[in-house]
Amino acid sequence: MDTALELFSNEGFESTPTSKISNEAGVSEGLIFRHFTNKNGLLQAVMLDVEDRINNLFQPIIQCLDPQMAIKLAISLPFSIKKAEYVFWRLKYKLKWESAYDNPDNLQPLIKKLSWAFYQLGQNEPKLEAQFMVQTIEVISTEILKGNLKQKTKYKNFLLDKYEF
């Protein structure tokens, strides 16, 4: 699964032959099908893992009791992605257009939490604010993963300013 994650993430799902996965993982090709039935089954298993790990990164925000802090954490999230985590963020975003594997519901808890936070802070449209912020997190993550974003701290401060914290 680790090898699959890496290869799917770097070279794409369709472009990764099962033989390559088994080779790099040092197991027989047949084993993949014994465990996951399908190449799709393997992807599914990998994705469950990925969603899980990403959800974990949301936990500090969701469990934060101070609304202002929660928002600050949310904005900071994409800027704190570690190199080691790139691989599963990238896979997640690559599969965004593969409806079978993209599950927008995974973001609901985060949206809920941010809704609450914006509400606490007296915003007019807390739900829309939350939705917008989550989307913002996604674009910035994408830009960072693709290496397009220079001056990360400057940009981070710019965003924090935007929310007047």
Binding site for DNA (CB under 7 A): 16-19, 27-35, 37-40
Minimum CB distance to DNA smaller for 89 or for 101? 101
Tell me the closest approach of the beta carbon of residue 6 to DNA, in angstroms.
15
Select from 25-33, 38-46, 62-70, 150-158 the region that touches its own copies (CB under 8 A).
Answer: 150-158
Select from 36-44, 46-54, 70-78, 93-101 the region that touches its own copies (CB under 8 A).
Answer: 93-101
Distance CA(60)–CA(74), nearest Å, equals: 9
Select from 37-45, 52-60, 113-121, 127-135 the region that touches its own copies (CB under 8 A).
Answer: 127-135
